[in-house]
Amino acid sequence: MGFRKFFIALMTLGLAGVFALAESPLEKQQELSSVCKQYRTEIQGKKLLDVYPFFDKKGVDTGKGYLNLNAGKTGAYIRFYNFGDKTLQEAYSKLREVLRERANEDGNKHIILRDSLPEADSEDVLKLEERYRGATCYIRKNENEVWIDSYPKVGKEFVFILQKDGNNAKLYYYEIDFLERLKI
């Protein structure tokens, strides 16, 4: 009977060690990388339509709740959400819900965001592919606006812009395949 307890304890410790060594695909960084610093510089002092003019809602309605930026093509989409009476953190939680709902769509299952919106400019490294380290940049434009730029895997980019507008919060959602970016 003693050997059995010892064996169970040994197996439990072994399994705990395996799970402890399992690496999370999300790694929070202490400082911004050159990628996120460059993104911050690109958007600094600019308004949404200065950086992403396609958010003026010109595009082809796909009937799936978003607009295709390339008529007759696939791979570049925009979405708009308006969350009534929400803080930025609550809107961020809604964004995470939207992503969970769309997780089965190609590429969306690879988007990994933090549990809560960071209070300052931040970056996460995403280790989803063996030879590629993705990144997610969280850039605070001001206390009412956060821009999130994510490159979770090769060939995909997602941009999420959260804005507090009075009592409401807005979410601008942009998803693109890098090959389509060249065609816009």
pLDDT of residue 82: 86
- Please say if the pLDDT value at position 158 is more than 60: yes
> Exposed/middle/buried for 115, CB within 10 Å: 0-12, 13-18, 19+?
exposed
pLDDT of residue 75: 65
C-alpha 65/C-alpha 78 separation (Å) is 9
Q: Which helix (H) or strand (E) holds 57?
A: none
pLDDT of residue 100: 83
Amino acid (one-letter) located at 77: Y
Residue 109 in contact with residue 103, Cβ under 8 Å? yes
- Please say if the pLDDT value at position 81 is more than 70: yes
pLDDT of residue 90: 93
pLDDT of residue 154: 75
Q: Give 110-122 pLDDT, tens digit per residue.
A: 678 888 899 899 8
pLDDT of residue 89: 93
Tell me the pLDDT band of 106, cut-offs 50, 70 and 90: low
Name the residue ranges covered by the structural domains of the chain: 24-181
C-alpha 134/C-alpha 44 separation (Å) is 22
Q: What percent of the chain stands above pLDDT 90?
A: 22
Q: Which helix (H) or strand (E) holds 19?
A: helix 2-21
Quick one: which of 101, 77, 87 has its CA closest to 146?
87
Most confident of 57-61, 85-89, 171-175: 85-89
Query: What mean pLDDT is reported for the chain?
Result: 77
Q: Give 12-69 pLDDT, tens digit per residue.
A: 555 444 443 345 555 676 788 888 999 999 999 999 989 888 787 766 666 666 666 6
pLDDT of residue 54: 78
C-alpha 56/C-alpha 168 separation (Å) is 19
Q: Is 38 helix (H, G, I), strand (E, B) or coil?
A: helix
Distances (CA, A) of 4 to 1, 12, 57: 5, 12, 67
Look up the pTM and report it: 0.75
